[in-house]
Amino acid sequence: MMTNVVEKFLRYVKIDTQSLMDQSTFPSTEKQLALSRLLVDELNQLGLQEVTIDENGYVMATLPATTSRALPTLGLIAHVDTSQDFSGENVNPQFVKNYDGGDIILNAEQNIVLSPTEFPDLLDYVGEELITTDGTTLLGADDKAGVAEIMTAVEYLAQHPEIEHGKIRVAFTPDEEVGQGADRFDVQKFGADFGYTVDGGGIGELEYENFNAAMARISIQGRGVHPGSAKDKMINAALVAIELNEMLPVNMRPEYTDGYEGFFHLWRLNADVEHADIIYLIRDHNRDLFEEKKHLLKLAADYLNVKYPAGTVELKIKDQYFNMKEKLAPVMHIIETAKKAMLELGIEPKVTPIRGGTDGARLSFMGLPCPNLFTGGHNFHGKYEYIPTRSMEKSVEVILKIIDLYSQAQ
């Protein structure tokens, strides 16, 4: 099983599936479909049924029940795309066979080092085998590890029809990283009673709370005048952008928050004298505090439109997703079963709020309750990403144990 999950992961990360914001197509990039089509081929080879890929790039398949008993239909979901924050082209995974607790040189030529000084979680994996980047790309464990783990689990079950289980539905989605992964997901077609996204971090993570999320796009129109004669005439859009940012609380920046604390994340800024464009990501687990943050940004924009000519600052805020906890509270058996599965496998469940979002958040509000299981990966979206191979194996075991527990419960 270990060999299978690692082999699959290494095969999948070689395919560049980076998604991009603000594209007119769905999925946002054609190259995501290369992995999706490969998965269709592999699912067919495994003998799964109802294997489909629709016009939007959603892959779905069925592993039929092996019992006539009435068992719930369980869904397993992961996304194929990787973040646009860092290159996913020509990924070249490196193996650390027996990690000794020291620095890991990812790229000697560029002096890129993965160090427990900066990333202390590394010390949890002393003696284990790690897969890292070569320092020039991300690794893609978010979420190709989840894809590989689901594929390995269903492969095992397909090869062992003597194991009793209910109907299992599998889905692989595009564009999760740009917040569109659930936009065209057909919950009715998927037909699961509940599901699990396999899209979390380190071993033991189990998440059913996530941020409420919004994206704020701000356009600032300046007035360019020769600096030699600019007095009382120039409006420097770049400086107005800085002024707006300085009106937001410093302690509400991502680098100063953790746990349940929300933030304003200055994600994009392009500016010159004439014009500035800003994108903020607004996040908070608490719905009231989330609304307050949106209101605070609006107040800042309103103030600047009084200080400067009306219309200088144009603000548009779009809600992206909400905290799935309210949708999972009535069906907590999904969480309790995952906890039990981990404990029976000797894994301590780490129930933590997601400081981000998953497709599961959107899907939960669309009628498919969907908490999040760990993949084993760390430091997603950048060159310091790594994943212990043992954690990948344990993820597969947890998936299989959850399925087993539901087959025993009836």
pLDDT at position 132 is 98
Domain boundaries, the chain: 2-209+323-408, 212-321
- Among the listed residues 176, 284, 359, 393, the single catalytic one is 176
φ, ψ (nearest 5 deg) of residue 268 = -140, 140
Q: Is 336 a catalytic residue?
A: no
Beta strands in 29-134 (DSSP E): 49-53, 59-63, 74-79, 94-96, 104-107, 112-114, 130-132
CATH no., domain 2-209+323-408: 3.40.630.10
**2-209+323-408 shares its CATH topology with 212-321:** no
| pTM of the model as a whole | 0.86
- Among the listed residues 16, 42, 81, 149, the single catalytic one is 81
pLDDT digits (tens, 9 = 90+) for 330-384: 999 999 999 999 999 999 999 988 888 778 989 999 999 999 999 999 999 999 9
pLDDT digits (tens, 9 = 90+) for 149-169: 999 999 999 999 999 999 999
- Mean of the per-residue pLDDT values for the chain? 96
What whole-number distance in Å separates Cα of residue 74 and Cα of residue 171?
11
pLDDT digits (tens, 9 = 90+) for 215-272: 999 999 999 999 999 999 999 999 999 999 999 999 999 999 999 999 999 999 999 9
User: Into which CATH architecture does domain 212-321 fall?
Assistant: 2-Layer Sandwich (3.30)
Element containing residue 307 per DSSP (H, E):
helix 287-307
With a cut of 90, say whether residue 86 has pLDDT above it: yes
Q: Is 288 a catalytic residue?
A: no
With a cut of 80, say whether residue 409 has pLDDT above it: no
pLDDT digits (tens, 9 = 90+) for 308-323: 999 999 999 999 889 9
